[in-house]
Every structure is written in C-alpha cells, then in structure tokens.
Structure 1
Amino acid sequence: MFHLVMVAPEIPHNAGAAGRLALATGSVLHLVKPLGFSLEDKYVRRTGLDYWQDVDVRVWESFDELKAVAGEEARFWYLSTKATRSPWSTAFEPGDYLVFGCETKGLPEDIVRAAGDSGLRIPMKPDSTRSLNLSTAIAITLYEAVRQQAPMW
C-alpha cells in the first residue's frame, strides 16, 4: 500500500518495528545504506525478528538510487522536525513514499531543504521533547495514510 523509507537507520529494533508495520499494512520497507546493523540471518534472529522473512524489504546503496528506480511520478513525503506541515493536512495516496531519517540526526539537511511542501512534521507540544522515537513516528504517519484509504479491511 505504501513505501516506508528509512535513511541510514542505526537501531535494529526500530527497523524491526517498521518491518512489522509494513507487514501489517501491506507496505514495502526500504532501508537506505549505511545501516547501523547487519541483516544477516543470525543477527535478525537474535533480535527476535521471527517475521522478517515475510517483510517486503529492499536495501538501497543510496537515496538517489531509490528515487531513480521509483521514477518521476512517485510521491515522496519527508518527515522532519524542521518541517511545518502535518500529516493530517496531507492527502496521501496508495504508493506514496514516507521517508524518515536516522535516529540521532534525522534526514540529511539537503533532503529536508529540497522537500519544500513535501516536508511533514508530527505536531508536538512546544518545548516538550526534541523528537519522537523513530518507530513511533513511522507508525503515526503510516496509520494516518492508511486511515485515509478506509475502509481498508
């Protein structure tokens, strides 16, 4: 239904949670290198990802490579604490790409600058926290996009 993109994810449990979200919604999980963890079977099993073999996961050498394969018609939404538009004011469409940065730095500045009106920010109470956990942000955004497609199941 949607494409979840994690650019340079660092924590395997966040990627695992995103994989479970992708599986639950029929979405594709895209991991853009560098990864802060290994996807070798023994490491995946060790982190308790017994469902990982069922996730449609694709690994990319770079974000530019993913965008080139997705094509010019693909719609990308970039989640950043520096954006102003919320996911609730966005009309998502099946096939959209929801792009998230790494846990410690977010998306690279050049991607955020280029996002323009495609930049999205999850609203938070002022001065409450600098950001949400990555897998939480993915879940919030993905399920808003899914909600807009209702009735789904």
Structure 2
Amino acid sequence: MRLHKNPPLNIVLYEPQIPPNTGNIARLCAATRCHLILLGKLGFDLSDKQLKRAGLDYWQWVSWEHFTDAEAFLTTLSSKNFYFL
C-alpha cells in the first residue's frame, strides 16, 4: 500500500529471505517515510512470526508494494535516476 506520493527514497529488497531483516527495514521505512518495494519471490509469508516481531507491528505506517517480477517493477519507474547499492 503506497502511503506517500513523493517519498525521499524507494528502498527495493530483491527476493528477501530473512524475516527479521525485512521487518527492521520496514520499520526504518515507516520512520523515514521511505517507500519499501519487495521484489521477486519472498522467502517468508508476510504474516511470519519473526517478521511481526521485527517490525510488522509498524506495518500500518509502512508504504510498500510487492512485485513478483522485475519487469513489472521497472515499468513503474518514472525517472531514469536510480541507483543500485
């Protein structure tokens, strides 16, 4: 669910596998008003107990989307200015 029209950053996690890491990044996104994009196959269910412990209780304040493939994600990019880190 996209909450912010112009977030300072879009943070993309490609095929995240570790629920606590994803939850912590989601919490960071909620605190900084960044948009979280989960790309590809997830290594967990979004209702995973470890994910909830790490940050899912903040999920209502997280601006996020899930794309199953890279092509679908790339078609949503409105700018040619993006960085891979």
- The structure having more radius of gyration, on CA atoms, is 1
**Aligned partner of residue 57 in structure 2, secondary structure:** coil
Q: How does 1:106-125 map to 2 (within 5 A)?
A: none
Q: TM-score scaled to structure 1, two decimals?
A: 0.45
Q: CA RMSD in A?
A: 1.8
Judge which range, 54-63 or 43-52, deviates more.
43-52
Identity of aligned residues (%): 32
Q: How does 1:51-62 map to 2 (within 5 A)?
A: 51-62=58-69
Q: TM-score scaled to structure 2, two decimals?
A: 0.77
Cα distance, 1:46–1:19 mapped onto 2, change above 3 Å: closer
Q: Which residue does the alignment assign to 2:52?
A: 47
Q: 2: distance between equivalents of 1:2 and 1:16?
A: 17
- Deviations 1:127-153 (Å, cap 9, x if unpaired)? xxxxxxxxxxxxxxxxxxxxxxxxxxx
- Post-superposition shift, 1:47? 3.2
Is the counterpart of residue 76 in structure 1 residue 79 in structure 2? no
- Deviations 1:54-108 (Å, cap 9, x if unpaired)? 211100011221111113x2422112xxxxxxxxxxxxxxxxxxxxxxxxxxxxx
Cα distance, 1:46–1:16 mapped onto 2, change above 3 Å: closer
Cα distance, 1:21–1:76 mapped onto 2, change above 3 Å: same
Moved over 4 A (4+): none
Cα distance, 1:61–1:47 mapped onto 2, change above 3 Å: same
Cα distance, 1:45–1:77 mapped onto 2, change above 3 Å: same
How many residues are matched?
A: 76
- Post-superposition shift, 1:44? 5.3
Specify the code of the residue in structure 1 equivalent to 2:84.
Answer: Y
Where structure 2 has 5 or more consecutive residues not aligned to the other structure, the ranges are: 1-7
